[in-house]
Amino acid sequence: MLVVVSFIAVVLYVIAAYGLTKRLTAYQQTDTTSHKIILIGLVAAILHGFVLVQALLPSVGINLGFTNVLSLATVFIALLLIFTSFNKPIENLGIIVFPLSALVLSIQVLLPTEHLLNPAETKGLGIHIVLSILAYSILGLAAVQAVLLSLQERNLHNRKPGGIIRALPPMETMEQLLFQMIIIGFSLQSMSLVSGFTYLENMFSQHIVHKTVLSAIAWGVFAILLWGHWKYGWRGRTAVRWTISGFLTLLIAYFGSKYVIEVLLER
């Protein structure tokens, strides 16, 4: 049954992404069409979440394997996008987010991994994990926003104000949304680092030192970006570069190290 539910979720994700792409290139667009497409994405995310819960909570312990955590992050990103899009013009980010969620869900089902934890021993760690995934999800949305902002700026400079440019909000609005996401994500990442030092016995132990260092570097990248935006008015390409650099560092910290330890080294 889970395979069938996963297949339906993947199909709905693809339909939602296709609908947003078609809407993006259409000459006439309506909020009604956008809301219908987003609702399809919401159904897909709910089904995704149902499948994920079964994988996360086996009969014994909590399975925080690599593909499960990756799937958890992507469904968080999809849900954040969906609910935020009801009052912010960010629904077009689904063109990237929905196919990515479909791909990760497929990997989770086809290539399951296992890393069982005892719930009694992970109460504090659970807070750290939730904060980390929330921070990653919001900063992941910011990275997608930065990619679209970069495309928007490039098309405007090349004097090609069609398709994607016509459908996106003004660049000023796009940049405001970008920095709002970064501020929220940065705050959550700060709490994640504090909770890590609070609940983990040694944040610099051998098996997680690389994650700690890379997370701290990513935190520093976003801190510098926010300081530069406040002090010197950094925006445009500068903001895009710093945002993507910070997110890629975070991506390697959260998932690169986990992939190496659990999948390659099988620890």
Domain extents for the chain? 1-119, 122-267
Please name the helix (run of DSSP H) or strand (run of DSSP E) that holds residue 117, with its range, or none. Answer: strand 116-117
What contacts 97, CB < 8 A, 6 or more positions away? 74, 77, 78, 81, 141, 144
| CA nearest neighbour of 92 among 176, 46, 33 | 33
The pLDDT of residue 161 is 57
Question: Given this model, what pLDDT does residue 88 score?
Answer: 83
For residues 38, 43, 45, 47, the Cα torsion angle rounded to the nearest 10 degrees is -170
Residues facing 62 on adjacent strands:
117
Identify the pLDDT of residue 40: 96
* CA dist., res. 58 & res. 212, Å (int): 29
pLDDT at residue 213, as a whole number: 87
What's the pLDDT score for residue 170?
78
Per-residue model confidence (pLDDT) at position 240: 93
Separation between Cα atoms, residue 197 and residue 191, nearest integer Å: 10
**pTM metric for this prediction:** 0.83
CA distance 174 to 237: 13
Spell out, as residue ranges, where the chain has pLDDT lower than 50.
none
pLDDT given for residue 118 in this prediction: 72
> What's residue 79's pLDDT?
94
pLDDT for the residue numbered 204: 59
Sign of CA dihedral 162, 38, 63, 123: positive
